[in-house]
Amino acid sequence: MKKVISKILIIAVLLRVLLSFTTYHSDVVPFDFAGRVLTETKITTFYDYLWELPEDHPYLGVYPRNLFNYPPLTYFFLGGASLLTTWMVNPQVHDNFLLDFPSTLGNIQLNLLLLLLKLPYFIFDIATAFLLMSFFKDRKKKIWAFGLWLFNPVNLYATYMLGQFDIIPTFLTVAALALVLKKRDKKDVSLLPSAMLLGLGAAFKIFPLLFVVPLALLKKDWWSRIKIVAVGTLTYAVAAFPFIGSAGFRRTALLAGQTTKSLYAQIPISGGESIILFLAVVMFFYLVFLYRNSSAENLWKRFFVMMLIFFTFTHYHPQWFLWIMPFFVIDLVKSNFKHWPLVAVSLLSFIALITFFDPGLTVWLFSPINPALYGLPGVWQLMGMNPDINTLRSIFHTIFVGVSLYYVYYHFSKRSESI
């Protein structure tokens, strides 16, 4: 098995190097820029830096004042990693990358910089693949889980083409699950370490907090449940607490606009009151989890359901879809690939939805190796088509919702594997 794993890993790493080296999306720039800001300001005033610059400052000609809208750990980890890895890039090219990106196109130093900025993701990504192996006892299933994760297109696209950091909270979520599974045969096992991992994941992106209640409900007594929820939420809060005094943090990152997207789907019941569907369905399933017994082996199903609910009621960014991919891999292998059509349809929906965003997510991605691509119109315009984007987006999202409903029905209907 070691030889097979080694071969898969070598090919996967080479593919990641290639994609990192040849693709660019503007989302990777703020994380690099954060490293520079960290060298010019105090840690606790990081979020105030852009707000306090004079109107004629060069940075404000490129970046909005509310640029830093993620939790602190995101910028400190990735900004710090940038300072450690990008020193070998020509300083002038690096400056142009931050302030005048088009001028760097065609320069091999740009490709090197892109690779260095994405290098930290390799650790979390590959570690996730090894963790997923631990969900299975059968040798072949371990290999399948390992390979499917390393070659799943959502991961390759979001992490190494877009350069987004969603792999970090995804890894922490899988680690929390794997830790529960590892201790499943021991009596009176503490779930607090897993709760801390989820809270730490939420300190990068908020979604792991959805899993804290399902984790807590593995325990039978209320005191243990309360402690688990408290540890998860407090871990998240501790990472943000030093910045509460920062006006910039409160304005842009404490409650970023992306955080509330799940609340848009509503049913009006009066002129000023609505039922928020996401919250209603989450509460329903939390109550189901409360009154239906589960086990450590089936905890991943409860996490899966939470993600299905989230994506059902949310107009999501493409990189967010990475959050649900570990559960697709686990389900696919455990079902002996019975559910491959569901995964295929979900990926089709995902790929189609990408084409309805701006050209930076598609056509411009490979501009580091073909500068002529930068500035071109989107995929549909290049094909001479002008579809009703809102209608098509709704259709493909609805198709995914149908898949989600089946997954929930399937896992609920199998009494022998009750969630």
Looking at per-residue pLDDT, the higher value among 415 and 344 belongs to 344
Rounded to an integer, what distance in angstroms lies between the CA atom of residue 58 and that of residue 55? 9
Question: Considering the entire predicted model, what is its pTM?
Answer: 0.93
Closest CA to 235 of 172, 178, 294, 307: 172
pLDDT of residue 128: 97
pLDDT of residue 346: 93
* Mean pLDDT for all residues in the chain: 90
Q: Of the ranges 129-138, 217-226, 409-418, which one carries the lowest mean pLDDT score?
A: 409-418
The share of the chain scoring above pLDDT 70, in percent, equals 96
Structure tokens at 124: 């979390």
Give me the mean pLDDT over the 156-161 stretch.
96
Task: Kindly state the helix (H) or strand (E) to which residue 330 belongs, with its residue range.
Answer: helix 325-334
Q: Of the ranges 78-82, 211-215, 387-391, which one carries the lowest mean pLDDT score?
A: 387-391
Confidence band, pLDDT 50/70/90 cuts, at residue 416: very low
Does 162 have pLDDT greater than 70? Answer: yes
* Residue 283 CB neighbours (<10 A): 12
Residue 267 near residue 320, CB atoms below 8 Å: no
Residues 1-47 pLDDT 10s:
788 999 999 999 999 999 999 999 999 999 999 999 988 888 888 88
Confidence band, pLDDT 50/70/90 cuts, at residue 419: low
- Greatest pairwise CA separation for the chain in angstroms: 66
CA distances from 232 to 76, 171, 327 (A): 21, 16, 21
Residues 345-360 pLDDT 10s:
999 999 988 988 889 8
Instruction: Say what angle helices 222-240 and 72-85 make with each other, to 10 degrees.
Output: 50
Does 412 have pLDDT greater than 90? Answer: no
Rounded to an integer, what distance in angstroms lies between the CA atom of residue 126 and that of residue 14? 13
Rounded to an integer, what distance in angstroms lies between the CA atom of residue 350 and that of residue 397? 8
Task: Kindly state the helix (H) or strand (E) to which residue 411 belongs, with its residue range.
Answer: helix 389-413
Residues 299-310 pLDDT 10s:
999 999 999 999
Q: How many residues does the chain have?
A: 419
Residue 265: CB partners within 8 Å, gap ≥ 6? Answer: 276, 277, 278, 313, 314
- The separation between the first and the last C-alpha atoms of the chain, rounded to the nearest angstrom, is 32
Give me the mean pLDDT over the 104-120 stretch.
95
Residue 338: CB partners within 8 Å, gap ≥ 6? Answer: none
Give me the mean pLDDT over the 230-242 stretch.
91
